[in-house]
A and B are shown apart, each in its own frame.
Chain A
Amino acid sequence: MSLVIKKISLPLASFTLEMDLETRGRVTAVFGPSGAGKTSLLDLLAGLRRAKSAFIQLDDRVLTDTANGVFVPARHRGMGYVPQDLALFPHLSVRQNLLYGHKRADGANPLFSFDHIVEVLEIGPLMQRGVTRLSGGEKQRVALARALLTSPRLLLLDEPLASLDMKLKGRIMPYLTRIRDKFRLPMLYVTHDRWETLALADQIVVLVDGRVVQTGPVQDVFRRPASVVVAGLLAVETVQPGHIIRRVDELVTVAVGSIMLTAVEKNLPADTSEVHVCIRAEDVILLKGDAGVSSARNHLPAVVGSVTDAGPLMRVELSCGFTLTALLTKQACEQLALKPGNPVIALVKAPNVHLISR
């Protein structure tokens, strides 16, 4: 699917939403802090809101073109919308909610048939219930099913897991991946959670104060945030000031305090000397005992500062001349028997040391 969003100009409370964007991909995450204009963007795409200036095209259909007076009304846009508050109709049963937008067409894609969707989202037993008596997770699934039952060409999801606790998030996420994989339905997924983004999306658009600050494949953007702001948003855990010592092509030696690090960085301007050094916690490998020789260019002797719970993982704060954060599985943590004060060696591959010029 290709989605073109151009020439958007929509004044909001404290800033104007302005975008020029083209994205292809199965799941595109729209990532940004609250109030960045993400919901307004979805409303524009769905045709629920009009902007002074906008051009929106989905695949080969132009949906909005203010310059030429084109505006396809919401009901003809073929977009399934799951809003943040779910907006299930309180006066209708689950079944009635589901069937509200369902078109029964012969020769329709069997994937989008009523029975199939009910099966995939496992909402069979909820049919006759009143909407107000569903649990949070059940409501979420019903809202998803209702949107799917319109056989949409694009699914818009506004922070679908935001109001759920960690456990529930873990339980609903598989349904989303099922939707992505079984239905091959392109999704536009608004979130401020990096875990959801990493788990589900292949493309990411980072939106701050109404502007796109970075866009691209998820892994690339996470590894190489374009600015400290983006790095902060993407919660790259370790961001430290550094000073370039030597450069040979892409290979850069950078000093953080008195510690030398080796980085691989393609996109650094020639005369940069001051940089931010960004290392994602997932990219830090911990070794107890003798390091031997390894392919990682960076061996950092460190001392464990603290070990804290981070949901399914454990966050380990290390001191190696600067503060370095690592994320380990619980199992790994137990195996290494990490406790504050333990000496370890932190291994970081050169390409995982990302430099942003200052």
Chain B
Amino acid sequence: MSAEEWQIVWFTAWVSALSTLVILPGGLAAAWVLARYQWRGKTFVETAVTLPLVMPPVATGLILLKLLGRRGAIGGFLHDTLDFDVVYTWRGVLIALGVMSFPLLVRSARVAFEEVDSRLEQIARTLGAGNLRVFCTVTLPLASRGIVGGMLLAFARALGEFGATIMVAGNIPGRTSTLSLAIFQSVQLGQDANAFRLLGVSVVLAFAAVWSSEWLMRRKNR
């Protein structure tokens, strides 16, 4: 494996990890609200959160491109006022990965929260804890296994993301080229040997991530 290939692996790994961390607060909040509350438009929210999982990734990528491009609602503002670009940069990759793996994180975290006995949370309140303290000292520790499992799943998804990424960030060598994009490129170039090497790394990473996720989620805390 050449230095260039290792750069691609390293880039893919850190941007996937970072995207998982970035979606964590929002993902946990969404999972918490879905786990504990009922309200009239709840099904709508559940569906919206699950959409990136079932829509064609390029379709999601197209929506992101329209929003984050220099003429888009968000991208336009960033470009004009802050001279800050998102599409065709690693930030675009980050957002594409984050959006695509968000549903997986929310689903796992929601199940983890639902499995926390709400009686324990109530008793914590009678012991004088406010909502934030209850969440941090009771809910989160008891849900931690499921949450970490969800994070690993999201990470694995981000590692393999292609359709949305190529729409939003292109495949710029050295800057936005991820493992999956590089494999595609190698096939285009007829460099099958390269492609298979990168494919091998990809499989190993994904396997490790999903395996640990399954292992974690299977072992119940109580």
Query: A74 with B126: in contact, given A90-B222, A91-B221 (CB under 8 Å)?
Result: yes
Q: Is B130 an interface residue (CB 8 A)?
A: yes
The 5 A-B pairs at the shortest CB distance, nearest first, are namely: A101-B127, A74-B125, A87-B123, A81-B126, A101-B128
CB < 8 Å neighbour of A75 from B119, B125, B137: B125
Taking a contact as CB atoms under 8 Å apart, the answer to whether A100 and B122 are in contact is no
* Chain A residues, Cβ within 8 Å of B142: 90-91
Taking a contact as CB atoms under 8 Å apart, the answer to whether A83 and B123 are in contact is yes
How many contacts A-B (CB < 8 Å)? 55
Taking a contact as CB atoms under 8 Å apart, the answer to whether A150 and B221 are in contact is no
Taking a contact as CB atoms under 8 Å apart, the answer to whether A46 and B126 are in contact is yes
* Chain A residues, Cβ within 8 Å of B203: none
The answer for the CA separation of A150 and B120 in the assembled complex, in Å, is 16
CB distance from A144 to the nearest CB of B (A): 13
Taking a contact as CB atoms under 8 Å apart, the answer to whether B222 and A100 are in contact is no
Taking a contact as CB atoms under 8 Å apart, the answer to whether A103 and B126 are in contact is no
* Chain A residues, Cβ within 8 Å of B141: 91
Residues of B that sit less than 8 Å from A by CB: 117, 119-120, 122-130, 137-138, 141-142, 221-222
* Chain A residues, Cβ within 8 Å of B122: 43, 48, 74, 87
Q: Is A30 an interface residue (CB 8 A)?
A: no
CB distance from A128 to the nearest CB of B (A): 18
Known: A91-B142, A150-B127. 10 other contacts (CB 8 A): A77-B126, A80-B126, A90-B221, A91-B141, A91-B221, A100-B127, A101-B128, A103-B128, A147-B126, A150-B126
Q: List 18 A-B contacts (CB under 8 A).
A: A48-B126, A73-B125, A74-B125, A74-B126, A75-B126, A75-B130, A77-B126, A79-B126, A81-B123, A83-B119, A87-B119, A90-B221, A100-B129, A100-B137, A101-B129, A146-B127, A150-B126, A150-B127
Taking a contact as CB atoms under 8 Å apart, the answer to whether A75 and B128 are in contact is yes
Q: Which residue of A lies closest to B125 (CB)?
A: A74
* Chain A residues, Cβ within 8 Å of B117: 87
CB distance from A298 to the nearest CB of B (A): 50
CB distance from A150 to the nearest CB of B (A): 6
CB distance from B124 to the nearest CB of A (A): 7
Q: Is A165 an interface residue (CB 8 A)?
A: no
* Chain A residues, Cβ within 8 Å of B129: 75, 100-101
* Chain B residues, Cβ within 8 Å of A73: 125
CB < 8 Å neighbour of A150 from B128, B130, B138: B128
* Chain A residues, Cβ within 8 Å of B138: 89
Within 8 A of B (CB), among A134-153: 146-147, 150
The answer for the CA separation of A265 and B127 in the assembled complex, in Å, is 47
The answer for the CA separation of A81 and B123 in the assembled complex, in Å, is 7
Q: Is A20 an interface residue (CB 8 A)?
A: no
The answer for the CA separation of A103 and B130 in the assembled complex, in Å, is 14
